[in-house]
Amino acid sequence: MFDIVRMGTGISQVRRLAGEGNCNGVSPTDGPLPGYEALLASGALPVLPALGELLPGGLARGSVVAAGRWSLLCLALAAGASVAGAWCAVAGVPQLGVSAAACVGLDPARMLLVADPGTAWPQVVASLLDGCELVLLRPPGHAPAQVRRRLEAVLRRCGGVLVVAGDWDGAQARLLVTRQEWAGIEAGHGRLRARRVLVAADGRGAAARPRTQWLWLPAPDGSVGLADQVLSEMQDAG
């Protein structure tokens, strides 16, 4: 099926994130990072280099990014800001894999988790947005228009970014995993080593042009990297 050796070129883009620590022995860097002041002043939160093609301007402050369903993609979207020193809150995801989050670049030392925001989740998210630059939310159901408008107003006021694991009408950017293939595992041997996903992005305004991108999500070391498109076409042909 897959030849892990030939895929090396695609993996070469993988970057080491989140300090010196390896994937499981995370070494949180205490204190704001050097670029933190610049981050506070800029109009957008940075994204991981691998997502740069999909979100050219980063995550615009005050915007909502919908990421389909709960997956590693949501964590990858939040990771760029966390690497830059921002605080991230995760609401409504009790089953969050903290190690996986650390691997894609989220710093556990700058994370707040609200596993169950309950029925008052809009208020909880609004409070979290006051303190954190980025809030990753899995809403308990479809958000009514009134709730959405209120939260979007809070977003604009405090200049945060809301990453929604689910659907959000009127989101400024929308990312979706349309295909996924696991590498390294076959019937009875090998193990899960990496996953190649095709991510499609569209949105409104500056992000209106639809884009697609093959990504390693996760790459063999748990991080996020660009996957080789040529290889995927070869794969399709073969």
Partner 1 sequence: MAAHLTAAGVPPARVLVLWCPEWPVPPDPDAARTFEQVVSLVEDLCPKVEVLWPGACAIGARGPARYFGGEEALAGKIVEAVTGGGFACQAGIADGLFAAQLAARAATPVTVVPPGQAREFLAPYPVSVLDGADLDGEGMTELLPRLGIVTLGDLARLPASQAVNRFGVAGGIAHRLARGLDPRPLAARPPSADLSVSTEFDPPAPLAEPVVFAAKALAERMHAGLAARGLACVCVQVQAISEDGQEHARLWRHDGLLSALAVAERVRWQLAGWRPDGPRDPDGPGDPDGPKDEANLGGIVLLRLTPDQVVRAHGRQLGLWGDAVVSDRVARAALRVQAMLGHGAVTRPVPAGGRGPAEQATLVPFGDARDPERPPDRPWPGRIPVPVPATVCQDPLPARVTDAAGAPVTVTGRARLSAPPARMSAGGGPWLAITAWAGPWPVAERWWRPQTARRRARFQLVTEDGTAWLAAVQDGHWQIEARYD
Binding site for partner 1 (CB under 8 A): 23-26, 28, 30-31, 69-72, 75, 87, 89, 94-103, 108-118, 120, 123-124, 127-132, 179-182, 185-195, 218-222
For partner 1, which is the closer residue by CB, 62 or 85?
Answer: 85
Burial of 222 (0-12, 13-18, 19+ CB in 10 A): buried
Tokens for 44?
């957008």
- Rounded Cα distance between 183 and 189, Å, is 12
Q: How far is the CB of 19 from partner 1 (least distance, A)?
A: 12
Q: How far is the CB of 160 from partner 1 (least distance, A)?
A: 10
For partner 1, which is the closer residue by CB, 109 or 176?
Answer: 109
Nearest Cα neighbor of 15 from 78, 79, 74 is 79
Evaluate whether 3 touches 9 at the Cβ level (below 8 Å): no
For partner 1, which is the closer residue by CB, 28 or 52?
Answer: 28
Q: How far is the CB of 213 from partner 1 (least distance, A)?
A: 18
Question: Following CA atoms 54, 135, 20, 56 in sequence, which dihedral angle do they give, to the nearest 10 degrees?
Answer: 20
For partner 1, which is the closer residue by CB, 112 or 230?
Answer: 112
For partner 1, which is the closer residue by CB, 207 or 217?
Answer: 217
SS3 60: strand
Q: How far is the CB of 190 from partner 1 (least distance, A)?
A: 6
- Rounded Cα distance between 170 and 101, Å, is 27
Burial of 175 (0-12, 13-18, 19+ CB in 10 A): buried
Kind and range of the H or E run holding 105: none
Q: How far is the CB of 155 from partner 1 (least distance, A)?
A: 14
For partner 1, which is the closer residue by CB, 110 or 174?
Answer: 110
Q: How far is the CB of 153 from partner 1 (least distance, A)?
A: 17
